[in-house]
Structure 1
Amino acid sequence: MITGNAPVTRNLIRRFVEHHRFQRFIIAVIVANAITLALETSPTLVAEYGTPLRTLDTIALSIFVVELLFKLGVYRWQFFRDPWNVFDFVIVSIALIPASGPFAVLRTLRILRVLRLVSAVPAMRRVVSGLLAAVPGMASIAALLALIIFVAGVMTTKLFGEISPQHFGHLGRSLFTLFQVMTGEGWPQVARTVMDEAPAAWVFFVIYILVSASPC
């Protein structure tokens, strides 16, 4: 009798977890959980409403666990073939790790549960999928920028290391300075510091900014 009713039960649970109302309920829980986690950053609110906030957090986590158990019961091993299901599983599993002792730092990772909103909202999933599809091209751009910064870093260390050691004293410092210059943050001050002793240095900085900005 139990064996015969099992497929029926699985189908009922499947329709339940795939129903749009259930999906909206999960989205609402995720948003509410995000709000409670944000409220916990206030020492005043925690001192006054700490227990209710922790209770709401526990209820939200329990709902997420039950949802995953339902999906595991319905889809079984097929559950792990969907990357978004694996994403949800990892996020919820992290939240179940005891946040005490050496694992106390993991308590801050509870906020990762908010990222479940990405998997729960189809529009967000499409955006993330599009971004992931663009990763190979983005990686090529990042590699090109890294090469440009490295070449410029070696040049500036040799050219300006003695003039401005605080910015170009060694390769690591030069790379950091050049990354800062590439973002446009404070580069006039860096350039003027060097130009006080090497007036023609502006040529390098103008060319570097134009070249480093072009791949973007």
Structure 2
Amino acid sequence: MSRRERLRSIIEARPFQRTIIAIIALNAITHGTATFDGLPEQVLGFLHAVDRIALAIFVVEIAVRLYAYGWKFFRDPWSVFDALIVGIALVPVTGPTSVLRTLRILRALRLISAVPSMRRVVSALLSAIPGMASIIGLLLLVMYVSAVISTEMFGRIAPDYFADLPTSLFSLFQIMTGEAWPDIADQVMSEMPWAWIFFVGYILTSSYVVLNLFIAVVVNALDDETVSREEKRTEDKLDTILQELARLHARIDALERLPEEQRSGGHSPAQVSSS
């Protein structure tokens, strides 16, 4: 086994991965603790020391993975993601780049790539983007039509919410989220009692129909991700079985090609029968 293969076996081992996950979680906790007011200087110094040690470990880990996998490292999107997160942490935090100091907490996002279950969820969400784009277009169309209608009908009654198209769009987005929409409806219905038809129809369409379609698309993507993972496992098992069968077939062919004396242990057939 070569040195790179040994390194890959160590990197892919569960104890190594769990250690990295624990360091990422500890580093995220130290970043959150450092935001508390009134911490003693000794505590802040300790937190900064832990942060520097964690960063050094992450740099070494990325370097080892880069050496172990070579150019294949850049073919894995999650490896590139880890390298970018660690690279941002190496940017100097003085001068014009001091704003990047706050981006150190992005290292906590490495839990996504380190935990397989999180990685599968994100992969499913990314695969659901095409379907979600169509639903977003439908939602925008519903909001636009409703905004034009509400501006024309309710602009005079509630100018704070429906004075013009942008204001109506924002108010309808607020209604869609369920935030303070009864106050808006009460103000309009004080002069137009039948306006409840518009609000009920819009809420049912935007919140309970269109938004639930998002959930359906994401759940379907998660199911597809699970099925594809199971299919990959099945294919790997079949490949292993086929390789074993190929080895057995090669051994049988090799035995059949041997002279009969070698197959009988070096004795001729007559010697074997006389004995």
Check if 1:54 corresponds to 2:86.
no
Query: Distance between the aligned counterparts of 2:96 and 2:150, measured in 1?
Result: 44
Secondary structure of 1:10's aligned partner:
helix
Root mean square deviation of aligned Cα: 1.5
Which position in structure 2 is the counterpart of 1:3? none
Which position in structure 1 is the counterpart of 2:162? 168
Which position in structure 2 is the counterpart of 1:206? 200
Secondary structure of 1:200's aligned partner:
helix
Check if 1:110 corresponds to 2:104.
yes
1:153-187: CA deviations, max 9, x gaps?
Answer: 11111211121111011111110100111111111
Query: Distance between the aligned counterparts of 1:190 and 1:76, measured in 2?
Result: 60
Query: Equivalences for 1:1-216 in 2 at 5 Å?
Result: 8-45=2-39, 47-213=41-207, 214-215=209-210, 216=212
Change (3 A) 1:152 1:58: same
1:165-210: CA deviations, max 9, x gaps?
Answer: 1101111111010011111111110011111222221111111111
TM-score between both structures, scaled by the size of structure 2: 0.73
Amino acid at match of 1:28: A
Amino acid at match of 1:58: R
Contact 1:156 1:174 in 2 (8 A): yes
Amino acid at match of 1:193: Q
TM-score between both structures, scaled by the size of structure 1: 0.91
1:11-46: CA deviations, max 9, x gaps?
Answer: 332222222221111111001101101111102226
Identity of aligned residues (%): 55
Q: Provide structure 2 residue ranges, at least 5 long, that are not aligned to the other structure.
A: 213-275
Contact 1:39 1:46 in 2 (8 A): no
Change (3 A) 1:36 1:46: farther
Q: How many residues align?
A: 210
Q: Which has the larger radius of gyration?
A: 2
